[in-house]
Amino acid sequence: VIEIQGFVDAGEVQPTLFEAPYYIGPDGDVAAKTYGLLAETLKQSNKIGVGKVVLRDRETPLLLAPYENGIVMYRLRFPNEVRSIS
């Protein structure tokens, strides 16, 4: 289950936070309509969804971004996991 907490402009996220991409899809016919609407809305608004998901018993921050006819979920690093460039 993905919990979407908000939406931001695509350029507002530091690329150093991106850890791993996953293609995601709807879970059955009932979810397909909502999935399609979300994918199209993200594409037209140039926004990305910010949220969280539990993977391997650990809550993980994520981004949801439109990709072609679907959505890609990017697992993110926590800011304290990224080393300073200096």
Report which of residues 16 and 44 the model is more confident about. 44
Rounded CA gap, 59 and 84, in Å?
Answer: 24
Q: What is the pLDDT of residue 40?
A: 94
Cβ-Cβ contacts under 8 Å for 29 (sequence gap 6 or more): none
Residue 71, burial from CB neighbour count under 10 angstroms (0-12, 13-18, 19+): buried
> What average pLDDT score do residues 43-72 get?
93
Model confidence, pTM: 0.84
Q: What is the pLDDT of residue 7?
A: 96
pLDDT tens digit sequence for 23-55 = 999 988 888 999 999 999 999 999 999 999 998
Question: Has residue 82 got a pLDDT over 90?
Answer: no
